[in-house]
Amino acid sequence: MQNLSFMKRGTVPLPKSSKRGQSPGGKMTVKEPVKILSWLAVLLWMLVIFLLSAQPASFSNANSKGIVTRVVDTTVKLTKVGISEPEKAMLVKRINSVAREYMHGVVFLVLGLLTQNAVTKGGAARMKAAAIALVICLTYGLTDEIHQLFVPGRSFQVSDLAMDAIGSIIGIGLVYCKRGQSP
C-alpha cells in the first residue's frame, strides 16, 4: 500500500534524485522563475542607482530642481497663492535641498524591499533573510558613495550613507513584517 501521509501535510514528496526547486524530471518549477525575477529586479534597481549616481552633481541638481520648480509652479497656479519670484526661487531651493537628501532614503527603501523579497524567495529564514538583505544594501550603499568620489561635483557623504541605511532598514522591515503576517 502506498504511503499517503503527505496528504495530511498538503505536500507532495519528491523522489530522492530531485534537486530542490526542480521537478522529478529536472525541469524548472514555478518557484525558480520567481526567484530569478526577484534577483533581476534587485540588479536592475542597483543599475538605476548607479546611473543616477554617475550623473555629475550639476546635471543631477538641475534635473531635480527642474522637477521641483514644475511642482511649485503648478501648486501656486492651482492654489492661486500670491508669491513673488524671489520667494518662489527660495522655496524651490529649500524643497530641492530636502528632496535630494531624502531621495537617498527613498531609493534605498526600494532596494531594501526588493532585496529582502529576493533573499526570502531564495528560501532564507526571516531573520537570516533580513540580515543578508541588510548587508547587501549597506554594502551597495558604501560602494555607491565610493563611486561618487569619481563623479564630477560629487563626494563621499556619511549623511547619504546614513539615509541609505535608514531607507534600507525601512524597506527590509516592511517586507519582514508583511511576510510575518502570511500563513
Count CB neighbours of 95 within 10 A. 17
Residues 79-103 have pLDDT tens digits of 988 889 999 999 999 999 999 889 9
> Residue 136: what pLDDT?
98
> Residue 86: what pLDDT?
92
Residues 105-128 have pLDDT tens digits of 999 999 999 999 999 999 999 899
Cell of 135: 548587508
Mean per-residue pLDDT of the chain: 86
Q: Could you tell me where the DSSP H helices lie in 30-125?
A: 31-53, 57-79, 85-121
Of 123, 124, 106, 121, whose CA–CA distance to 171 is shortest?
106
Distance CA 173, CA 150 (A): 32
Distance CA 43, CA 115 (A): 9
The CA distances from residue 9 to 2, 5, 54, in Å, are 16, 7, 52
Distance CA 154, CA 148 (A): 5
Cell of 40: 533581476
Identify residue 83 by its one-letter amino acid code: I
Cell of 136: 547587501
Distance CA 46, CA 49 (A): 5
pTM confidence score? 0.76
Residues 27-57 have pLDDT tens digits of 656 678 889 999 999 999 999 999 999 999 8
Are 126 and 117 a contacting pair, CB within 8 Å?
no
Cell of 163: 539615509
The backbone region for 175, taken as left when phi is positive above 0, alpha when psi lies in -120 to 50, beta otherwise, is alpha
The CA distances from residue 113 to 6, 24, 45, 168, 170, in Å, are 34, 33, 11, 8, 8
Q: Which residues pair with 22 in a beta bridge?
A: 28
Are 29 and 23 a contacting pair, CB within 8 Å?
yes
Distance CA 170, CA 105 (A): 9
